[in-house]
């Protein structure tokens, strides 16, 4: 982040955003939130995560989306 002009010190909390979940290199799938605009996030990844949430929440009751 220091290269981009944003100073991150030791112990700073850095928030990351999914920007390209299909990239072959895992480190390029996310970007620090301070370095992107509001339209650069991976909408499909967040939609997938949103759909997975109820299954994780209700799995304790035996719910599963797979048949």
Predicted confidence (pLDDT) per residue in 15-65, tens digit: 899 999 999 999 899 999 888 887 889 999 999 999 888 888 888 888 777
Q: What is the pLDDT of residue 3?
A: 56
For residue 67, pLDDT beyond 80: no
* Model pTM score: 0.68
Q: What is the pLDDT of residue 30?
A: 93
CA–CA separation, 66 and 29 (whole Å) = 27
What is residue 32's three-state secondary structure? strand
End-to-end CA distance of the chain: give it in Å, rounded: 44
């Amino acid at each position: 982040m220091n290269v981009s002009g944003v100073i991150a010190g030791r112990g700073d909390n850095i928030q990351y955003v999914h920007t390209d979940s299909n990239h072959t290199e895992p480190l390029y799938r996310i970007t620090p939130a301070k370095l992107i605009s509001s339209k650069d996030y991976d909408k499909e990844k967040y939609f997938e995560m949103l759909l997975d949430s109820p299954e994780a929440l209700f799995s304790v009751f035996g719910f599963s989306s797979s048949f």
